[in-house]
Structure 1
Amino acid sequence: MRAGIYLYLLVFGFVSRRCRHSGMFVSAWQDDEEGLIAEQLEEEPGTFLRLAEDGNLDILKCMLEEKPELLLHSDADGYTALHRAAYNNHLEVVSYLLDSGANAEARTKQGWTPLHSAANWGNYEIIGRLISHGADVNARSEGSVTPLHLAISSQCEDAEHIFHSVRYLLQAPGNCCSS
């Protein structure tokens, strides 16, 4: 496991201080802060987004502990770590990010929330987690697209996932379509 973490960090150029989880170092430079350069520091938000997208919870925790402001970062299209974890169905990462204060209503440039991202791919467990954290099931993106619209026309090929996604959204408190 540790070898994989080190390799991931080296491949993506992340350099950090001592990680307080599991007593491991996440730096090949043994806490040598002199080696940090501006470009590497600027890349940390991109690495954080990739970690969320890939489901690498352990390293993501280390980074967030070191730099809590990473929760506020988004890519050029406005996707946050929560959006990326939601569309790639990483429930543990989504749960951790929400519990750490990630904004469940963050919007992309197209107006998508993390709930839109999860619904588009039929990630019903993520949908349930986001709803339990108060995500707005009636949120409308550009073109007035709701998470329910995306769940119905989902990119997911698993009919059971689509069914559960639609059901969770229809039964959610505050849904404009529920009775």
Structure 2
Amino acid sequence: MNSLLIGELSPEQPSFEPTKNKELTDEFRELRATVEQMGLMKANHVFFLLYLLHILLLDVAAWLTLWVFGTSFVPFVLCAVLLSTVQAQAGWLQHDFGHLSVFSTSRWNHMLHHFVIGHLKGAPASWWNHMHFQHHAKPNCFRKDPDINMHPFFFALGKILSVE
């Protein structure tokens, strides 16, 4: 993400947040430094490779289930469970690639993001980027965050879950 870095404010610079707690900010910076020193911010490429392989394996298993056992009720339900798991797992994997957080170069992240969302999920990466940028611009703001805007269709709770 270095290509997107404009600069950093020095600690003595004024903040736009008048209620910002300096002690809390210092504590957070110390925590972040500790986490980085421990190597917890570095992605494990073997984990992501195995993650992708397990998604592909479940996808193949689902389709082989239908091919071998036919489309009767039990194989159909098993296939539905497997494909639902694949879609959920692929959604989180493409999310990590979409955030460019797996590889040190954005090129590999973009390539795998396009593969996972395009071929496994059946959606364009540009659509996800557009919606996800809006989500990060106004997270959890009703009528501005596309993730929250979908909730009335999925939950019958109306404004109870909304942050206006």
TM range (shorter): under 0.3
- Give the helix-richer structure, 1 or 2: 2
TM-score, L = length of structure 2: 0.26
Q: Which has the larger radius of gyration?
A: 2
TM-score, L = length of structure 1: 0.25
